Amino acid sequence: MEKASKLLLKLSRRLFDDTSEQEKFVEALIHPKSFPPCILWCKEEPETLPFVVETPTSWQPSFVNRLALREKPGKHQLHEQGYYYCLDFSSVFAASTLLTIGSPVNLVFDMCAAPGGKSVFAWQALQPNLLICNEVIGKRLGMLISNLKRCNIQSSAVINKDSDILKTTFDRTSNLVIVDAPCTGQSLVAKGEKVPGCFHPIAINKCANRQKRIIANSAQIVAPQGYLAYMTCTYSLEENEQVCEWLLQKFPQFQAIEVSDLSAYQSHITTMPCYRMLPQDGLGAGAFTALFKNTEEGEAKQIDLDVLSIIARF
């Protein structure tokens, strides 16, 4: 525990120059507090809401409600009937960069989709003609498929392939690729969960290397003039800003996109447009998010539906 505390203090000093912010950050993780639940509507809202709703933030989409702390939306019959999807407000923050995409979106590819929250958000926000949800961990497929079916997410397909394979199969086909990257999950500590080793440099570097491999493969799936959304639920620089900077160096055709609605959350660690929600703000346990555009000219490649029908579940 003592070693973990030292690593947390070290992280706080890397994140903040101001000692008071360091103290607030450490306090939020050492003494976790509950965050208000959140729901994403998949069907038309009932005339009378069965929950007490908090005042929305300026960047919060209209199809999302942040609820009073005491509410239990996962136990309501509307949840079972697929009216909404329950998710952390930090996830709403991370996915809200997608609202910046104004052009029509034909194909959305969610590279690390389970349990499905970002996929449902993208489907509701962008109404794509086709949503492909990939999950490389087989035991997580059931939960993903169940959530998509319960929420009646139409024109969607679920696949179970490594990104190394997908970069060739779906090369330059997708108008949007979402990478909700597997990470050390440090923000879970702010929820009171135990995440052993999440602040250790070995675990951080292992995740960062995996994230770079996934985001590089995902970049090759993005069509010309398409978008790549990167997000995590962790705090370390190596898994966030440094992965994004690495992407821009490796793929100079990508440009980081400014999200004006999130300007108050701009990371002070870099001048590149990217955004952090922090647990001491009281909205959610924390998240990092950035949106990139492929500036190459040209047309998207047509997806091979025959190949998709072989590897996917609809």
> What are the pLDDT digits (tens) for 180-192?
999 999 999 999 9
Q: Please, which pLDDT band fits residue 2 given cuts at 50, 70 and 90?
A: very low
Q: pTM, whole model, 2 decimals?
A: 0.96
116 is in an annotated binding site: yes
Q: Which residue range(s) make up the domain with 219?
A: 89-311
Helix H or strand E encompassing 257:
none
Here the tokens at position 165 are: 């394979």
CATH code for position 285: 3.40.50.150
| Residues involved in catalysis | 233
Whether 283 is covered by a domain: the verdict is yes
**In the chain, % of residues over pLDDT 90:** 93
Whether 21 is covered by a domain: the verdict is no
117 is in an annotated binding site: yes
Partner residues linked to 131 by β-bridges? 108, 156
pLDDT in tens, 111-125: 999 999 999 999 999
Whether 150 is covered by a domain: the verdict is yes
Angle at the Cα of 199 from the Cα atoms of 193 and 205, rounded to 5 degrees: 125
114 is in an annotated binding site: yes
DSSP-assigned states of every residue in 180-195: E-----GGGGGGT---
The Cα–Cα gap between 214 and 255 comes to 18
Domains in the chain: how many in total?
A: 1
287 is in an annotated binding site: no
Whether 41 is covered by a domain: the verdict is no
118 is in an annotated binding site: yes
- List, in order, residues 6 or more apart from 196 with CB less than 8 Å away: none
Helix (H, G, I), strand (E, B) or coil at 176: strand
Whether 70 is covered by a domain: the verdict is no
pLDDT in tens, 244-281: 999 999 999 999 999 999 999 999 999 999 999 999 99
